Chains A and B, each alone.
Chain A
Amino acid sequence: MLKRIYAIFRARNLEFIRDRGTLSWNIILPVSLMFGLSFIFSSDRAEYTVGVLQNDPVIDASAHPFLESRYIDFVAVTERQGGLRRVQRHQLDLLVEFGDQPQYWINPDSPKGYFVEFALLQADEAAGGNITKSQVTGDAVRYVDWVLPGILGMNVMFSSLFGVGYVVVRYRKNGFLKRLRATPLRAIEFVIAQVASRLLLILVITSFVYAGTNYFLQTRMDGSYLVLLIVLLVGSISMISMGLMVAARVTSEELAGGLLNMVTWPMMMLSGVWFSLEATNAWIQKIAAIFPLTHMLGAARAVMLDGAGVAEIMPQLTTLLAMSAVFLAFGAFTFRWHPR
C-alpha cells in the first residue's frame, strides 16, 4: 500500500514541479503579498487625520507648529469643497488652511475633531494665535456605508475573474473549446457570449445583495440608482474582460488559479476595498490606479456617498471603458481554442 501511495505522491510532485508556471506563482505570490503588505502598513497609522488646504500636494511641516504634532496624519487637500465634505462626513477630523488669514473648519459632532482642535489651538497660540474657526455639520459616513461598495466590488471582481477566466481555461483543457472551434463560432463571438453571460449574472446577484443590504442596514445612497447601475455595468465589463485576457492562452487550471490570484489579491489590497488609501504612499496610489476595481469603487462611492452624477464620474467611466477595450482586444487577439 505504501508503495502505491509513494508512487502517486512522487508523480504528483513531479507534475507540480515540472509545471513551471504554477510553481513560480506559488512562490512569487506569497512573497509579493508579504512584501506588499509590510510596505503598506510599514508606518504606524495615526489616530487622527487632519486635512491641510493648500495647492502643493506636499506638506511643509515648518509652515506651522501644529504640523509638527505627533500622532496626527496630515493630508494635503487641494480642493476646498471636497475637504469640507470630508469634514462633514467625519472622514477628516479637521480641515485647516495656513496663510495670510489662517482658518480651520470643524464638525461639532466629531469627537475626534474636538481633541484635534485643542492641539491646534495650543500650537497656534505659540505661533501668534490669530486662527479663525468655522463649523460645518453633517452625519458621519458609517464604515458600513463606506465599505459596502468595496464588498460588492470585490464580489464582482472574483465573479468576473474566476467565473470567466477559470472556466475558459477548464473548457480549453477538457476539449470543449476545441469542439466549439469546429463549428462556425468565432473567437470574438465566444468572448462576447462569455462577457454577456457573466454580466447578467453579476447584475442580478449584485442588485439582489445590494437591495438586501440596503433593506437591513439602511445604507446611504445620495446619488441615482441608474448612475450606480451604469458604474456596475461598466466596471463589471472591464473585470470580465480582464478575466478573459488572463485566460486567453493558459491551458493549466493551476496556472490560471495562480495568475488570477496574482491579479485579484493586489486589487483587493490596493483598490480601497477595506480601507481608504488616502494616507498611504503616493506611488501606491499610482499603482492602484492601474486596477479597474480602484476606478469602479471610486465611482461607486462618489455616487453613493457624494451623490455624484455621470459627469462627475466620467473620468472613472472613461478609464474603465478604455481598459475593457484593451483587455478584450488583447484577449480576442491572443485567444487559443485548444491546448498545444
Chain B
Amino acid sequence: MVARRAGNLQAPVGSGYENCMAQGTLTTFSGRNFQRMQIALEAKNLVKQYPGVLAVDDVSFAVREGICFGLLGPNGAGKTTTVEIMEGVTPATSGDVWYYGSPAGTRFREEAGIQFQNTALQDFITVRETLEMFQSLYDRKADINHIIEQCSLQGLLKRDNRKLSGGQRQRLLLAVALVNKPRLVFLDEPTTGLDPQARRNFWDLVKNIRAEGTTVILTTHYMEEAEILCDEIAIMDAGKIIIQGSPDDLLKKHYKNTIIELPLNDFTGDLATLDHRVIESLGLIEIETNDVNDSLRKLAAATSGLNRMKIRQPNLEDLFLDLTGHSLRA
C-alpha cells in the first residue's frame, strides 16, 4: 500500500470548539495540564468574502487566557485574514470578535499587542525613538527598560531602523508589540526569513512572554515552531478550521504508529510487499508501523542496508500534510 501526501486523514471539523465551550470558559484539552481558564479572545462565525473568493468561511474558535494558540495553514488558507479580522485591522463580512466576554473594541486595542509579518518602520528613527513613539499611543505602559532587556535591544537603542538586521528587526517589532504591556499578543509569522539561531532566540523570547501570563496568538508556517511554542493549535484550509486541539492530543488521536524513514534508493524490494502504510515523498519512503522490530526484520531483507534509516514519532508536519494535502510553502 503506497501513497503520496494527499490529505488522507479525516478531519473532525470544529472539534475543538463546539465540544468545549461553556459560559465564557473553556474546559481543557486533555494533553496538557490546564485548569478551566477564562476565554481571552473568541471568534464567532467569522466570514470574509472578497469578490469571487470566500477567504474565511464561518470560522469560530476561542483562545484561553495565558496560552499560546497557533493558527496554522497553507498559503491562501485564510489564516492571515482571520487573524487580521481578530486584530481589528480588517473588517469581517459577518461575524464577531469578543474579547474577555465583550465585543472587541477600545479596550481590546489598548490591551492587545500586534506584530505583523511585514511592518515598515519609519526611516531615520532610532530603535529607542520607535519604542517611545509606539508606547505613547497607549495608556497602558510597560517598563520600557524591561522590554529592551527582554528583547535584547540594549546595544541597538541608538541605531537607525534602516540599519537593523532581520533578527534585530523582528526583536524590535516584538518589543513594539509589548510596549503597552499587552494581555494578548498576536505574532504573525514572526520568524519567517530568520536564520536558525535567530529563530531559536526568538522562540525563547516568546516563551518568556508567555511565562509572564501573556496570551499569545501565533500564525506560522513552521510546524516545529508550533510544536515547541503552542499549547493549542488550529489548522485552517480553504477558509475553514479543519482541526483544533493541543498538539499532543491531535498527534495521539491521529497516529498510533511509529514512522520509519529511509531513502528510496536503498530499497531493493517491492514496496507493495510491505504490510504497512507506505508514503513516498521527495526521494524518501516513510513506513508507518506499530511493530518496529517486525518491520525492521522485513526491511533488512528488502533493502541494501539500513544505515541511512531514521525512526521517529509522527509530528505536526505529518499531521499538517496529511490533513491539507499541501506542501509547506514559506
Chain A residues within CB distance 8 Å of chain B: 171, 174-176, 178-185, 337-338
Contact = CB atoms under 8 A, between A and B. Distances in A.
B22 interface: no
Given A178-B89, A337-B89, A338-B89, A183 B109 contact: yes
B137 interface: yes
Contacts of B89: 178, 181-182, 337-338
A193 to B, nearest CB: 10
B297 to A, nearest CB: 56
Nearest to A181: B89
A279 B137 CA distance: 53
A214 to B, nearest CB: 32
B87 A182 contact: yes
B110 A184 contact: yes
Most buried by A among B109, B112, B139: B109
A176 to B, nearest CB: 5
Contacts of B114: 179, 182
Given A178-B89, A338-B89, A185 B137 contact: yes
A338 B139 CA distance: 24
A183 B88 contact: no
B contact face: mostly helix, strand, loop, or mixed: loop
20 contacts: A174-B120, A175-B116, A175-B119, A175-B120, A176-B120, A176-B121, A176-B122, A178-B89, A178-B116, A178-B119, A179-B114, A182-B88, A182-B89, A182-B109, A182-B116, A183-B137, A183-B138, A183-B180, A184-B110, A184-B139
Contacts of B116: 175, 178-179, 182
A184 B119 contact: no
Interface string B95-130: 000000000001001101010101111100000000
Interface in B127-149: 134, 137-139
Interface of B: 87-89, 106, 109-110, 112, 114, 116, 118-122, 134, 137-139, 176, 180
A188 to B, nearest CB: 14
A279 B87 CA distance: 59
A132 B59 CA distance: 91
A99 to B, nearest CB: 66
A179 B87 CA distance: 11
Contacts of A184: 106, 109-110, 137-139
Contacts of B119: 175-176, 178-179
A86 to B, nearest CB: 48
Most buried by B among A175, A178, A180, A183: A183
Contacts of B176: 179
Contacts of B110: 184
Contacts of A176: 119-122
Nearest to B107: A184
Given A183-B134, A183-B180, A184-B110, 6 more contacts: A175-B116, A175-B120, A176-B119, A179-B176, A181-B88, A182-B109
A332 to B, nearest CB: 18
A337 B109 CA distance: 15
Nearest to A189: B137
Nearest to A176: B120
Contacts of A180: 137
Contacts of B121: 176
Nearest to A178: B89
Contacts of B139: 184
B99 to A, nearest CB: 14
Nearest to A184: B109
Contacts of A183: 109, 134, 137-138, 180
Contacts of A174: 120
A180 B130 CA distance: 12
Contacts of B134: 183
B21 to A, nearest CB: 27
Contacts of A181: 88-89
B182 to A, nearest CB: 11
Q: 8 closest Cβ contacts across the A-B interface?
A: A174-B120, A182-B114, A183-B137, A179-B119, A184-B109, A176-B120, A181-B89, A175-B119
Contacts of B122: 176
A149 to B, nearest CB: 32
B118 to A, nearest CB: 6
A174 B134 CA distance: 17
A180 B112 CA distance: 13
Nearest to B117: A175
A201 to B, nearest CB: 14
Nearest to A174: B120
Nearest to B173: A179
Contacts of B106: 184
Contacts of A179: 114, 116, 119, 176
Contacts of A171: 120
Nearest to A338: B89
A154 to B, nearest CB: 26
Contacts of A338: 89
